[in-house]
Structure 1
Amino acid sequence: MLTELTDEGLPPELTQAQPLWESVRGPDRSGAVRVSRLYANGDLYAWSDQRRVEGPGGVPRREAAPARWRLDARLSAAAVAEVEAVIKARFMGLTLPAPTVVVSDGTPAAARACVGGVGHAVSAPSAITAEEVRAVEHTIQRGVKPGSAPINNGP
């Protein structure tokens, strides 16, 4: 894995699991680090110091909370298979420097995938903007099941 974060918030079955996809952005100018991990079971976790709660009228909102892994969304098995296909076709051969746009604030970034026991990682200020990385991230977002973002996602 790209990051050495605690397992706090992950279910026991994922604490030793290799993420299918992991992306890291930061620290940015404010010191914030954004990390997300997609697991083969379709669970998308984010390292976050905010949790979603139900606000007035049932409207979801975010509030400050201790940093931990929080279930952010779920993908269907078909969506996970599509993410794997995009990783294999687009990301696994990526080497940097690639023809990319540099992140405007120079924030370091990294991405890592592990499909079928084969891992590949890239790390550079421009990694997260590489077309190949964006393709994987877009496929993940497109595959999120409607309504799968849990409310009250952790203490």
Structure 2
Amino acid sequence: MIEPLAVALHGVKQTTAAEGQVGVVGGAGPIGLLVAAVLKAKGLKTIISEVSQIRREKAQSSGVADVVVDPTSEDLKAIVSEQTSDAMADVAFDAAGAAPVVGQLLDVLGHRSPAGHRHPWQTGRGRSHRQTDDAGSDPRCQRRLCR
């Protein structure tokens, strides 16, 4: 469990996650649960989205999730909006590795929440090239954030 915990800690440390904020985690496997645990330890409200009933139950019973959502039968965006009084999430993490999850997570981020991704040609720590809505895009990228 050390490697998944290291992945979770590193991922959260790359964000501006802070006490009192709301974090959404897409996926409740080992890394998703540990990301949620790290967020809870930092004082964030956690919302986990997971399609597997067994994993949703584990997220709830382990205490790492304040809210657990089944995205196949519930509207994640509506639930996040309700839980945040329409402010939406401050941070979101993809721990599922499935393309639809990324789209859902981008939809639940608040207007001023930083969102970004790295490209294979970036080296070192790199820099996400979308930090605000009006930042420029990279013509080599075909991802939704860059278009």
Band the TM-score falls in, shorter-chain normalisation: under 0.3
Larger fraction in helix = 2
Bigger RCO (CA 8 Å, 6+ sep): 1
TM-score in terms of structure 1 length: 0.21
Structure whose CA Rg is larger: 1
